[in-house]
Chain A
Amino acid sequence: MAVKFSILSDFAVRALKANKMRSFLTMLGIIIGVGAVVLMMSIGQGTQAQVMANINRLGTNMLMISPGASGQFGVRSGTTNTMTLKDATAIAKLDGVAGVAPTVRTSGLVTYGNQTWTTSATGTTPAVVDISSLTVAQGRFFDDTDVQSISAVAVLGQTVYTNLYPNGANPIGTEIRIKNVSFRVIGLLQSIGAGMGGNDQDDVIYIPVTTAQIRMSGITNQAINMMQVQVASKEQMDSVQNAIETLLRTRHRLAATAADDFRITNMAQIQETAASVTGSMILFLASVAAISLIVGGIGIMNIMLVSVTERTREIGVRMAIGASRQDILSQFLLEAVMLSLLGALLGIIFGIGGAKIFAFFAKMAAPISISSILISVGFSIVVGVFFGYYPATRAARLNPSEALGYE
């Protein structure tokens, strides 16, 4: 004999429509809460995706080796030029090593005709193409012959190209000067985009490592600034890291008690760390947003209590004409759930809108996950039932004769 659900929903809708402004203000808490959850999850996941993409571009199965002892608290002390090209060659022969790109970095003024640009030139070997996922757009990358013959050839990144060649001229074969040393441009790279922390990964010039050492920096002992080691598979990361450590200690003739004169950074570990950091950041943002949902729920309870008091006579009439306590309970509970559910739907719309605006201005993806929508809708239903139950019980417990006489 219970009231049909469609009729019960109609009761609730009529009650909410009767006080449109109040209903909207009551929903506002939920709207903000759900909107915040959706937006935060979206921004969080977008950020995480971007961080991961950047780390992946650096190479997941990558070890970065830099010279210098790792001192206390990870502070590097000394600028020992202990690591050499020969070390790189030796490491390249180890099992599980897919490629080694030694790096010598030098920065200064670059000129082409009357155009100038200050940037850094990276001396390296052709192995860097695979390791850093570079794509040559025009011309070619230098090869091992160029490295052996200490050729004065350069491959430009897009930022360098657009700044030196504002007319968009073909750079291949032209002469540029890096710190007053003349180089012939043989290649132009495809654009990569901004890296982690917003650094421009297109603001690069690649030159042969030998050329960088001898012609640019005057290094005669083959010392290098850094090397990137690509490991064949993720499973081999640790064993390769250990093998390199042993190899370098042996090659550098370090006593058993001496500290390493190099530092190995494991990119897989960085990726894991970044994933867990961004993961807990998303969780943190979502929890803060979820708190506002609870505040919104308290707002619903507050208004529902007021509503029950205001409508005491109406409840009495409904009981007199045959509404059971269950009917009254259901009606008021449904009102509360409708408030929270409608608030959730509006909140989702605002959240998605906010994420789109964020994505537009921050120029990064802010994906809307179905899970964040389902979670916030589910959570707001729970909030509606939880905070609507007490006022609904108050309504249902009214004594019909007393409720009818209520002024």
Chain B
Amino acid sequence: MAIREAIRDGADKTAQASSFPLIHCRGLVKVYPLSGVEVHALRGVDLEIKQREMVAIMGPSGSGKSTLMNIIGCMDKQTSGDYYLNGVDVSKLDENGLAATRNANLGFVFQRYNLLARATALYNVELPLFYAGMAGAEAEAKAMAALDQVGLHDFSQHWPNQMSGGQQQRVAIARAIVKRPLVILADEPTGALDTVSSKDIMEIFQKMHREHGATVVVITHEPFVADFCQRKVVIRDGQIISDDQVPNWHDV
């Protein structure tokens, strides 16, 4: 609770000053010991993402972008270097602190939706609230509001297998935003979708960003998806090779 409040407080203080780096990585190195050989997934990454930014992290497979996403998402720890989420040194958090941070401050969207198959859309969106100790009507109301935001109000009682891929991914987005996290982290959110659905999903992210001031980080290898973002960071062999603003990104 304390960690969550600390991070939240920071966010409130900096809501006006959007130059404050929400995500601040300095010299991030990640080494995996893989059957005796050390694999250097990240070789010193410096990255700052400010509040209300919408950033695409691009790179071919094996470039280290998923590793970066895991570290930013507090699901893995760096070998060396620093990572501050809203000013908090994540490496100093224990397991429970990391879980609480993921629950309160991060919203994940995955390539394969990763919804619970035997639960309604509503129940899936309620899950993060359950892990925050909420239940009942309060959780249901919040989850319905999130489903509204992704345009799935009428699908709350549908099961994942009764929905299209695009709809399932929208449920996953509703699940990610239901706790109004500091950062929405999307790992290849369009990887399993056709072009129309992909565009749909990216427009929802843009809407979240535009209307609710969400900070969105999208990991992708498709340039078409990256064009929906304000800023494009390219990683190759564990290092950032380019970091550019995207002109006319709203008009895709």
Partners in one complex: yes
Residues of chain A at the chain B interface (Cβ within 8 Å) = 1-4, 6-7, 14, 17-18, 313-314, 316-327, 399-401, 404-405
From A317, A326, A404, contact of B96 by CB (8 A): A326
B241 in the interface, Cβ–Cβ < 8 Å?
A: no
Residues of chain B at the chain A interface (Cβ within 8 Å) = 1, 66, 70, 73, 75-76, 95-96, 99-100, 102-104, 108, 110, 114, 116, 118-119, 127-128, 130-133, 135, 175
A1/B1 in contact, CB under 8 A: yes
**A396 nearest CB neighbor, chain B only:** B95
From B75, B99, B103, contact of A325 by CB (8 A): B99
B118/A404 in contact, CB under 8 A: no
Give A325 to B75 CA distance when docked, in angstroms.
12
Instruction: List, in ascending order, chain A residues with CB within 8 A of B127's CB.
Output: 318, 321
Give A316 to B111 CA distance when docked, in angstroms.
14
Per CB-CB distance, the 8 closest pairs between chain A and chain B, nearest first, are A322-B103, A324-B99, A322-B131, A401-B70, A401-B75, A400-B75, A317-B114, A321-B128
Give A212 to B69 CA distance when docked, in angstroms.
106
Give A2 to B108 CA distance when docked, in angstroms.
20
A221 CB to closest chain B CB, in angstroms? Answer: 91
Instruction: Knowing that A3-B131, A3-B133 touch, tell me 16 more A-B residue pairs with CB under 8 angstroms.
Output: A1-B103, A2-B133, A14-B118, A314-B116, A318-B131, A320-B110, A321-B127, A321-B131, A322-B99, A322-B100, A322-B128, A325-B95, A327-B131, A399-B75, A401-B73, A401-B76
**B112 nearest CB neighbor, chain A only:** A313
B130/A7 in contact, CB under 8 A: yes
Instruction: List, in ascending order, chain A residues with CB within 8 A of B99's CB.
Output: 319, 322-325, 327
Instruction: List, in ascending order, chain B residues with CB within 8 A of A316's CB.
Output: 114
Instruction: List, in ascending order, chain B residues with CB within 8 A of A327's CB.
Output: 99, 131
**B127 nearest CB neighbor, chain A only:** A321
Give A319 to B110 CA distance when docked, in angstroms.
13
From A14, A325, A400, A405, contact of B119 by CB (8 A): A14
B102/A321 in contact, CB under 8 A: yes
Give A29 to B76 CA distance when docked, in angstroms.
40
Q: Please name 12 pairs of A and B residues whose Cβ atoms are closer than 8 Å in the assembled complex, sorted by A.
A: A1-B1, A2-B133, A316-B114, A317-B110, A317-B114, A320-B102, A321-B131, A321-B175, A322-B132, A325-B99, A399-B75, A401-B75
Instruction: List, in ascending order, chain A residues with CB within 8 A of B119's CB.
Output: 14
A180 CB to closest chain B CB, in angstroms? Answer: 86
**B108 nearest CB neighbor, chain A only:** A320
A22 CB to closest chain B CB, in angstroms? Answer: 14
Give A7 to B129 CA distance when docked, in angstroms.
11
B130/A3 in contact, CB under 8 A: yes
Instruction: List, in ascending order, chain B residues with CB within 8 A of A3's CB.
Output: 130-131, 133
Instruction: List, in ascending order, chain A residues with CB within 8 A of B133's CB.
Output: 1-4
Instruction: List, in ascending order, chain A residues with CB within 8 A of B76's CB.
Output: 399-401
Instruction: List, in ascending order, chain B residues with CB within 8 A of A313's CB.
Output: 114
Instruction: List, in ascending order, chain A residues with CB within 8 A of B131's CB.
Output: 1, 3, 318, 321-324, 327
Of A319, A322, A325, the most chain B CB neighbours within 10 A belong to A322
Give A326 to B132 CA distance when docked, in angstroms.
13
A322/B75 in contact, CB under 8 A: no
Instruction: List, in ascending order, chain B residues with CB within 8 A of A321's CB.
Output: 102-103, 108, 127-128, 131, 175
A320/B132 in contact, CB under 8 A: no
A18/B96 in contact, CB under 8 A: no
Of A2, A7, A316, A325, the most chain B CB neighbours within 10 A belong to A7
Q: A3-B131, A3-B133, A400-B75 are in contact. Are A322 and B70 (CB under 8 A)?
A: no
A119 CB to closest chain B CB, in angstroms? Answer: 72
Instruction: List, in ascending order, chain A residues with CB within 8 A of B103's CB.
Output: 1, 321-323
Give A401 to B78 CA distance when docked, in angstroms.
13
Instruction: List, in ascending order, chain A residues with CB within 8 A of B135's CB.
Output: 4, 6-7
Instruction: List, in ascending order, chain B residues with CB within 8 A of A325's CB.
Output: 95-96, 99
Of B114, B119, B130, B132, the most chain A CB neighbours within 10 A belong to B130
Instruction: List, in ascending order, chain A residues with CB within 8 A of B70's CB.
Output: 401
Instruction: List, in ascending order, chain B residues with CB within 8 A of A318's CB.
Output: 127, 131
Give A325 to B114 CA distance when docked, in angstroms.
19
Give A405 to B103 CA distance when docked, in angstroms.
19
Give A404 to B128 CA distance when docked, in angstroms.
16
B5 CB to closest chain A CB, in angstroms? Answer: 12
Instruction: List, in ascending order, chain A residues with CB within 8 A of B110's CB.
Output: 317, 320, 404
Give A17 to B118 CA distance when docked, in angstroms.
9
**A4 nearest CB neighbor, chain B only:** B135
Give A327 to B70 CA distance when docked, in angstroms.
21
Give A318 to B75 CA distance when docked, in angstroms.
12
Give A324 to B100 CA distance when docked, in angstroms.
7
Give A44 to B176 CA distance when docked, in angstroms.
60
Instruction: List, in ascending order, chain A residues with CB within 8 A of B130's CB.
Output: 3-4, 7
Instruction: List, in ascending order, chain B residues with CB within 8 A of A17's CB.
Output: 118
B95/A324 in contact, CB under 8 A: yes
Give A399 to B73 CA distance when docked, in angstroms.
13
A133 CB to closest chain B CB, in angstroms? Answer: 65
**A7 nearest CB neighbor, chain B only:** B130
A326 CB to closest chain B CB, in angstroms? Answer: 7
Instruction: List, in ascending order, chain B residues with CB within 8 A of A6's CB.
Output: 135
